[in-house]
Every structure is written in C-alpha cells, then in structure tokens.
C-alpha cells in the first residue's frame, strides 16, 4: 500500500458546489464534505484534516467565523476561502482574522482548485517538517548541553582533587583541604615544594574545582628555558612582514581560565617586571605590538625555592611575589609522606603495565618495606622511574625486592632521620669499627635481597665463606623475609 492521500475538508451550503469540488479533487485527495460550519467542526474533531475549502456566505456561521475558530484549535490546518462576492475590504479583514492562506473567487476552474489544494498540502507538510525539525533541534540542543555538562563533570572528577593520590591518613590531607578552600575563590595561589612533588596536579585540581573550570588550563615551566622563549610563550608574538609568525601567548590562550607557572623563581629580573606589570594592570603588549592586550586569567605559581627569602636577598621582585601569593600552599616531599607510597606505587605500576603491555599483580610487601626506608630525593618522578625499571626486568606477576635498584636496597631504615647518605656516613664522627659495621650492614642487606637470600651466591659474590656470611648475618641481626617459597641455596 502506498502513502494515504492528503485529507481535504469541503464546506459549502450548496450541494452541487460540494459535488463539483469533490469531482475536481478526488483523484489526488481524500475528501470530506459538510453543508455548514457545525458539521465541518464535527468532522475536524474526528479527522486529521490538512486543508479546508470553505464558502464564505453560508446560513448560520459564515466562512470567516468558522475558519477563525479553526485557526484557534487547529492552527496547522491550511485554510482557503471561496467567495462569489467582491467586498475587497471584507475579504482583507477575513484573511487577517482567520489567517486565510488563499482566497478563491467564483466561478473557479477545476485546475485552479487542484493547484491550490496541492500548494496548500505542500505548505502543511513543510510546516509539520519544520515543526519536527524545531523540536529535534531543541531536543538535540538540550541533549548536547546535557552531554557537555556530563563531560565537564567527568572531566572535573577525573582531574580534580581525587586525582591527587594519597592515603586516608596522608600528611598531605591538610594541604589538600586548604587547596579545596582556595580553589573556589578567584585569587592567585603560590605552591611551594620540591620538584616532582605534584604541584601541577594540585594546581590542575584547583582549576577544575573553580568557577573557571569550563575554560582552559595551561602550564608553563620556566626552568632551563631561554628568556626570549619564555617571553614569547607568555606574551605571544605579533608577527611581521619579515617572516616572523604571529603567536598567541599563554596569558591570552588561558583567557578566563587558569595558567600554572612552575619554577617562577627562575624568571629573569626583566621578565619578573613584565609579568608583575601585566598582572597588576590587567593588560600587556605582545612582542612587536604597541596596542595593549587585556587579560583575565587566574595565576597559580609553583616554586621550589623559598620566594620570601628570594625577596629578602633581592633575587625576586617583592611586587611580583605579592601579586602571585594571595594564598600559599606547601607540598610535602615524598619522604615526608611515606604512608602514600603504596597507593602511589599501585597506580603508577598499573599505568606503566598498561603502557608497556605487561601483566602484573602488584608489589610484594618487602618492596614496600624497602621503599619506605628510602629518601626519594627525586620524589614522584624517581618513584615512577624505579617502578618502570622494575616492571621491565620482572619475570613474574609480583615484583619482588630483588628488582630494586642497589642504592635503594642499601638505604638504612633510619635514613630519613639520620645520616642516610654514604658520604655523610663516611664523614661522620665515631669509632672506625662502628662506621665500618654500618657500611657492611647495608652492603650485606642489599646483596642478600638482590640475590633472593641465596646465601651461597651471596657468599661467592662477597668473597666470604658460607660460615662467615652466616656469622655476619647473625651478628648484624639481618632477618630473612618470611616467604612461602624460596629458591634452593645450592
């Protein structure tokens, strides 16, 4: 079956007029007929009429009054009036009052009637399609808006403070609590801490917790970069006929967003002055451009040095210091948050395993024990490098202490509190015998751990007899880890 024909309603009090209209239209349309307005209104309630042809002069309610009511109840139906009279002013009022699409005068020609009906049904279809498209656009607009909101929420959660990994009792928790408070206020924040302690992660989390979360977040690290490059990165380049390419600076790219400037103390005095003026005046000039560029950016700065001391000794401008330090945070080094190492190590190892395509289940307790007694001068980056190295060397799903680097294995349990460095130990005061024994203990522990406590191999490598090695193990109180399986010594 084909598509149904468009439905047309014919209204006229003269029977032969109705029959004539039906005969002209019935090949292309389904036709309903009514002798008056009341009958036509009843048919309208029960049928999806697209077009009405209505005589103007009828007993009772005339065509204009009827079509006016139709307009109120079925505004999409196309209304055409037929009249044998030429009261021009009346017809103009009728067209306005009833929203009439077309006026046909008597006598009409059948082809004229058919053409009018086809144009009217096309108009009805186009109006419906337009309405449908409008509905779809409104729905899509809401749908896109909802999806964007959901994506923003996911982004905030994925890059928020939940991404700053730490244990439930982490010493970092008070710092994160402060950062959460500062995040919601549009003020500059100075984050102090050693390199690779996660200052950028905290800055990013603050951005995605702020009112600027929907705008961009950029990072600029000033360490080891030439002055000219930093100036172009920050302020941009105008471009010139000589071939210099125009470039937008980060102060403009991060407009209404956040710019994290790490190692701020490394800026030269000239750049310190330029940045200080830009932040205080809210505008700057690009390289090669005399017209000012206005900025609206939140600055979060990172530094490894004590900027207050740098201001005191004259190596850092005091006006720039106060421009970036409305609030201050201090991020702890990894050696002061040993409680966080297990969760950090698990996350780093999982990501590294996925990147390098190796299946691992985790670290042994012995590994975590050795990690806990080490200082981690390189902080999170050193931990990441160590875990990747261990992953590459691993032969099984559990990474054991034999894979740990020797300098970590040799670290003393109290290394963080006393002379953990070998050079310090050698320079320390005390009896020669005690100092030699301290070094010997570290060498024995490292060698036995690396060789999985295979005492025969350890004695051979150290140039000792098995009896001599056992004596030293007993003397220094070195305990073999309790494991359910162990390689044979011989």
- Domain 7-129: assigned CATH number: 3.40.50.2300
Residue that is written with structure tokens 């500062």 in the block:
182
Q: Give every CB contact of residue 413 below 8 A, 6+ residues apart in sequence.
A: 373
Tell me 412's DSSP state.
-
CA 193 to chain centre: 26
Q: Please determine, looking at this structure, whether the domain spanning 162-332 carries the CATH number 3.40.1400.10.
A: no
C-beta of residue 61 within 8 angstroms of C-beta of residue 40? no
Q: How far is CA 288 from CA 220, 239, 280, in A?
A: 22, 7, 21
Query: Where do you find CATH 3.40.50.2300 in the chain?
Result: 7-129
Q: How many CB atoms lie within 10 A of CB 166?
A: 19
For residue 228, whether the previous peptide bond is cis, meaning omega lies within 30 degrees of 0, is no
Which of 263, 334, 272 has its CA nearest to residue 304?
263
| Separation of alpha carbons 8 and 4, rounded Å | 12
Tell me the backbone φ, ψ of residue 437, rounded to 5 degrees: -65, -35
Residue 219's pLDDT is what? 96
Instruction: Detail the DSSP E strand segments found in 70-179.
Output: 78-83, 102-105
**Domain 336-476: which CATH class?**
mainly alpha
Residue 155's pLDDT is what? 54
Which of 251, 258, 226 has its CA nearest to residue 236?
251
C-beta of residue 90 within 8 angstroms of C-beta of residue 47? no
C-beta of residue 375 within 8 angstroms of C-beta of residue 416? yes
Residue 419's pLDDT is what? 42
Residue 1's pLDDT is what? 53
C-beta of residue 299 within 8 angstroms of C-beta of residue 133? no
Predicted TM-score (pTM) of the model is 0.59
Which of 219, 215, 186, 214 has its CA nearest to residue 202?
219
C-beta of residue 274 within 8 angstroms of C-beta of residue 320? no
Residue 289's pLDDT is what? 64
Residue 279's pLDDT is what? 95
Residue 485's pLDDT is what? 37
Tell me 50's DSSP state.
-
Torsion of CA 16, 18, 22, 25, to 10 degrees: 120
- The DSSP secondary structure of 73-94, one letter per residue, reads H-TTSEEEEEES---HHHHHHH
Computed from CA positions of residues 203, 204, 210, 213, in that sequence, does the dihedral angle turn out positive or negative?
Answer: positive
Relative to beta strand 283-285, strand 292-294 is antiparallel
Residue that is written with structure tokens 């990072």 in the block:
219
pLDDT per position in the chain (490 positions), as tens? 567 899 999 999 899 999 999 999 999 999 999 999 999 999 999 999 999 999 888 888 888 889 989 988 998 899 998 887 655 556 666 677 778 888 888 888 888 899 999 999 998 988 888 888 877 777 776 666 666 666 555 555 556 788 888 988 899 999 999 999 999 999 999 999 999 999 999 999 999 889 898 889 999 999 999 999 999 999 988 766 455 667 889 999 999 999 999 999 999 999 999 999 999 999 987 666 667 889 999 999 999 999 999 999 999 999 999 999 999 999 999 999 999 999 999 999 999 999 999 999 999 999 998 999 899 999 999 999 999 999 999 999 999 999 999 889 888 664 444 444 555 555 556 677 767 777 777 787 777 777 777 888 877 877 888 877 887 788 777 777 764 433 334 3
Q: Give every CB contact of residue 450 below 8 A, 6+ residues apart in sequence.
A: 401, 402, 404, 406, 409
Residue 161's pLDDT is what? 86
């Amino acid at each position: 079956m084909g598509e149904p024909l468009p439905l047309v309603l014919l209204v006229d009090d003269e029977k032969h007029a109705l029959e004539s209209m039906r005969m002209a239209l019935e090949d292309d349309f389904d036709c309903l007929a009514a002798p008056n307005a009341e009958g036509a209104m009843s048919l309208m309630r029960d049928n999806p009429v697209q077009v009405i042809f209505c005589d103007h002069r009828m007993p009772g309610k005339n065509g204009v009054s009827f079509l006016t009511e139709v307009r109120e109840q079925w505004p999409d139906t196309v209304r055409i009036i037929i009249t044998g009279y030429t009261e021009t002013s009346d017809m103009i009022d009728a067209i306005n009052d009833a929203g009439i699409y077309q006026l046909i005068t008597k006598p009409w020609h059948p082809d004229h009637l058919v053409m009018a009906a086809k144009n009217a049904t096309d108009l009805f279809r186009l109006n419906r399609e337009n309405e449908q498209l409008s509905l779809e656009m409104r729905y899509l607009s809401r749908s896109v808006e909802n999806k964007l909101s959901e994506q923003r929420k996911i982004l905030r959660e994925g890059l928020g403070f939940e991404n700053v990994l730490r244990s439930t009792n982490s010493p970092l928790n008070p710092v994160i609590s402060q950062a959460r408070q500062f995040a919601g206020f549009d003020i500059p924040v100075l984050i102090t801490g050693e390199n690779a302690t996660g200052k950028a992660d905290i800055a990013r989390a603050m951005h995605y917790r702020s009112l600027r979360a929907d705008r961009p977040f950029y990072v600029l690290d000033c360490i080891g970069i030439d002055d000219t490059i930093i100036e172009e990165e920050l302020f941009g380049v105008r471009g010139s006929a000589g071939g210099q390419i125009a470039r937008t600076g980060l102060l403009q790219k991060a407009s209404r967003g956040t710019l994290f400037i790490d190692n701020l103390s490394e800026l030269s005095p000239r750049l310190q002055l330029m940045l200080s003026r830009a932040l205080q005046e809210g505008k700057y000039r690009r390289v090669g451009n005399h017209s000012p560029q206005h900025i609206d950016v939140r600055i979060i700065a990172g530094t490894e040095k004590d900027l207050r001391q740098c201001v005191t000794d004259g190596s850092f401008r005091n006006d720039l210091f106060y421009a970036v330090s409305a609030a201050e945070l201090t991020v702890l080094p990894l050696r002061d948050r040993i409680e966080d190492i297990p969760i950090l190590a698990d996350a780093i190892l999982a990501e590294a395993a996925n990147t390098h395509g190796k299946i691992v289940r985790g670290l042994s307790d012995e590994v975590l024990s050795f990690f806990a007694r080490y200082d981690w001068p390189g902080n999170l980056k050193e931990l990441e490098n160590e875990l990747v190295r261990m992953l590459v060397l691993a032969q099984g799903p559990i990474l054991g202490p034999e894979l740990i680097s020797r300098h970590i294995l040799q670290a003393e349990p109290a290394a963080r509190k006393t002379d953990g460095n070998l050079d310090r130990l050698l320079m320390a005061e005390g009896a020669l015998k005690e100092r030699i024994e301290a070094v010997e203990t570290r060498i024995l522990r490292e060698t036995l751990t690396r060789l999985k406590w295979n005492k025969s191999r350890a004695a051979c490598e150290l140039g000792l007899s098995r009896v001599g090695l056992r004596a030293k193990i007993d003397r220094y109180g070195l305990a073999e880890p309790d494991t359910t399986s162990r390689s044979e010594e011989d």
